[in-house]
Amino acid sequence: MFETIVIATDGSESVRRAVDVALDLADRFDAAVHCLYVIDEGDVASSPERLRDEMAEALEDRGTEAIAEVRESTDREVTGAIEEGHPPSVIDEYAREVDADVVAMGTRGRHGENRFLIGSVAERVVRTCPVPVLTVRQLATDESDEELIGTPEQAG
């Protein structure tokens, strides 16, 4: 069912659960894993001109760290990619390029609640991506996966 999974990450803690779910899917279906970090060209362009190169370099370093974190979370081989552009468009294009069966991503990334006002990357990817998108929200501190899906005994 799933042969190729793309994990879109921004390296934030809120994406951690999406990474875990995607890697679990990859293990269950023996799927290839691609991890994509997108440097938002808008973030770079909106920084002061004298700092743009430093900003781009810092974001690329963060992308390298984010991909390394995913690789450290699994024994599976993970193909990493850092791209620059408009995140929803880059994610769509990358998913088509690698012939992904699903894109996994968190519902809230490093921009946090601010993105709610202008529309999240996840929402735009869900609306435009030709590949199915699995969105995984971060649990609140008082929630657990068992509360949401039940324990094995409850499923019973």
Instruction: Compute CA distances 46 → 22, 24, 79, 105, 115, whole Å.
Output: 32, 37, 30, 25, 16
6-44 pLDDT tens trace:
999 998 887 899 999 999 999 999 999 999 999 999 888
Write out pLDDT tens, residues 62-121. 999 999 999 999 999 999 999 999 999 999 999 999 999 999 999 865 444 444 433 488
What is the structure's pLDDT at 154?
A: 52
Number of domains making up the chain = 1
Q: Residue 26: which domain range?
A: 4-155
Q: What is the model's pLDDT at position 113?
A: 46
CATH number for 132: 3.40.50.12370
Distance CA 40, CA 31 (A): 28
